[in-house]
Amino acid sequence: MNCIQAIAAAALVLAFPHVGHARVLAIQSITTRSAPVILPLGASLAPSLAGSLTTPSLSLTQNLVIPTLQTPVYLPNTVVPTATPRTSNAASPAEEKREKKKNPVFENLLAVAKQSKKSRQSGNSVTAFDTAGPLHLTIAGPPGVGKTTQAKLIAAKTGVVHISVGQLLRVYAADKPEIRERMNQGKLVSNKLVMRLVSERLAKADVQTRGYILDGFPRRPVEEAALQEILTDGLQLDAMIRLDAPRAVLKRRILARGREDDTSPVFKQRMQIYRSKTLPVIEKLEKELPTLTPDGRMTKIESIYESLIGRLARWINSR
């Protein structure tokens, strides 16, 4: 493509980005050597480019729609395709940031837990988790305490299904800006929506056969009451795992996660919700269910995990 053709193509892209399928006119003689230039029928060229396209065989004026040509050729079946944004498999900046922040300790523990489960399934070893049947657990605590981290590890070790209500909501809100914005502000979404998503997930076959660990749910009294109603025979909660950490530690972890909604104002909002709505639910469940906590005030992932797995195994054996 020579310079004149490039300018003509640029004029089409810049002046008519909205053009989809349209009949077009082939202009054959911009220069004696040029290939046909395709323009939409009835389109005006940008005035700033019109002068640049003046050649011995083609004269353009500022207000002319389609210049007079020596040999115009109409191509009724030719179309100008709408420009399609190039797609990319590259991760978003937020995803790249989270990828870089992956904790090698957690990744190693997760791999070991999964391998342990595979080893037991092959008959090489048997533990309390293999003879207990499906477990039905919930893991609770303030934002940033590590509920999802420990829930994933416990799920990998025991074989139960990890159900993250936050993840269910993020997937649902991906194409719903109003819900995503509310979540990014640290606000709770409709209880009706939350319960629908949870109910649908609990009804799946893998939960029925393997059990579950609810990650940070229920968070409100109304959710706790609704959960009791939708849990059918054989799916009722067996125990609660409760985590806690100092506020300063929680805030540091939250700000280090790299999610779009992990900011200081949002953390403050979530802590207010936790104290006013979630904490009463946790205290109620603590009176009704066996409650497992890690030894002391541990902060390391591996120490908390090992402590919880040990206590979970002892609780299973004592039932």
- Give residue 307's Cα distance to chain centre: 30
Look up tokens 């195994």; give the residue. 313
Domains by residue range for the chain, with CATH: 3-75 (no CATH), 93-318 (3.40.50.300)
Q: Mean per-residue pLDDT for 57-82? A: 39
Answer yes or no: are the C-beta atoms of 272 and 194 closer than 8 Å.
Answer: no
Higher pLDDT, 296 or 224: 224
Q: Which residue has the tokens 């299904």?
A: 161
User: Which comes out higher in pLDDT, residue 305 or 105?
Assistant: 305
pTM exceeds 0.75, yes or no: no
More confident residue, 285 or 131: 285
For residues 197-209, average pLDDT: 95
Burial of 88 (0-12, 13-18, 19+ CB in 10 A): exposed
Q: Is 110 left (phi over 0), alpha (psi -120 to 50) or beta?
A: alpha
More confident residue, 129 or 60: 129
Separation of alpha carbons 100 and 119, rounded Å: 30
Answer whether residue 234 shows pLDDT above 50.
Answer: yes
Tell me which amino acid residue 48 is.
S
Entry field: residues in the chain: 319
Of all residues in the chain, what percent carry a pLDDT higher than 90?
Answer: 50
Q: Please provide the average confidence, as pLDDT, over all residues in the chain.
A: 75
What's the confidence (pLDDT) of residue 97? 52
Q: Which residues in 103-133 are b (16+ Cβ under 10 Å) and which e?
A: eeebeebbeebeebbeebeeeeeebbbeebe
Q: What contacts 24, CB < 8 A, 6 or more positions away?
A: 38, 39, 40, 41, 75, 78, 79, 80
Residue 311 has pLDDT above 50, yes or no: yes
Residue 274 pLDDT > 90 = yes
Residues 117, 135: Cα–Cα separation, whole Å: 15
Predicted confidence (pLDDT) at residue 310 exceeds the cutoff of 60: yes
pLDDT in tens, 38-55: 444 444 444 444 444 444
Tokens (6 digits) for 177: 């800006």
Own/partner pairs, 200-209, CB within 8 angstroms, 24+ separation? 201/163, 201/168, 202/163, 202/230, 202/231, 202/235, 204/161, 206/161, 207/161, 207/163, 207/235, 208/134, 208/235, 209/134
**pLDDT tops 50 at residue 316:** yes
